[in-house]
Amino acid sequence: MISLPMSSMFICLWMLIVVIRSDVIANHYTQQPRYTGKFIASFNAEEYKADSVLACLAFCGPFCTCFGYQRLTKRCRVFDFCLDRNASFIEDGWVYYTSPSECVEGWITYGGHDYMLNLTKLSQPEAMAICHKCGAYLVEIHDAEENDWIKQTVSKDIYCTNKYDCTAWTGGNDRETEGNFTWETSNTPFIYVNWDFNNPDNKDAISKPIDCVDMFYDGQWNDRPCYFQASFICER
């Protein structure tokens, strides 16, 4: 058996780590030329000092699907998600990497839009972030025909004995003004509504922040605390 000096063992271990981490980038992140040399304006960006692209990758958290690295300044930016519309002015030297979207499959088309039900249970802000990551937003429902189609097509496989246990987030909320519900992404007021009986009911419990809107499997709507963990419907 050949024994290696301790220094050689550390070098071999370091090389193995580099290979593993490089493999992680190759398998889970892809360089995105459309972002190269640009500044990405995003509310969810965080910036760090990093000695390498691998060190930059290490700053990615559980919701990080995009990161950028500037080798000259050794600056690292991580994002929950990157959107094409946020790539604004030129900023030389930045190279960005994104992870493959888990939202490639499962979309159903209706009225010129695509919809997808995600059964992961998240708070409404977390659900919104996941939709954004896929270039989408939490569903906005503007008429009875769209609502019925979602009920019959997107939510058709959801059923619970207690319907409050299996709802799906929409993009609706009344965070700004109590009782004035708007759609988060378009910032437009509700025109069509399909409230469940006795909903919205925040007016009866002012002390509790019941500001976000989810949808029962039967197509009716409910206001709910935004931190509640529910499935969600993305639209793009």
The candidate with the shortest Cα–Cα distance to 225, out of 119, 123, 99, is 123
The rounded distance, in Å, linking the Cα atoms of 50 and 48 is 6
Is the overall model pTM greater than 0.75, yes or no?
Answer: no
Tens of pLDDT, residue by residue over 91-146, are 999 998 877 655 666 889 999 999 999 887 889 998 998 888 777 899 999 999 99
For residue 26, pLDDT over 60 is answered with no
Under a CB-based contact definition with an 8 Å cutoff, are residues 139 and 150 in contact?
Answer: yes
Q: How far is CA 96 from CA 101, 184, 211, in A?
A: 15, 28, 36
Question: In whole angstroms, how far apart are CA 210 and each of 10, 144, 147, 174, 192?
Answer: 55, 24, 22, 9, 20
Q: 151 and 76 share a domain? A: no
Choosing from 98, 128, 160, the residue where a domain stops is 98
Asked, for residue 21, whether it belongs to a domain, the answer is no
Query: Which among 46, 67, 98 is the end of a domain?
Result: 98
106: left (phi over 0), alpha (psi -120 to 50) or beta: left
Structural domain tally of the chain? 2
169 pLDDT higher than 80: yes
Determine the structural domain holding residue 185 and report its residue range. Answer: 108-235
CATH number, domain of 192, equals 3.10.100.10
**What is the rounded CA–CA span in Å between residue 202 and residue 73?**
50
Do both 94 and 208 map to the same domain?
A: no
Whether 231 and 127 share a structural domain: yes
Model confidence over 67-101: pLDDT tens digits? Answer: 999 999 999 999 877 766 677 789 999 998 877 65
pLDDT of 194 strictly over 80: yes
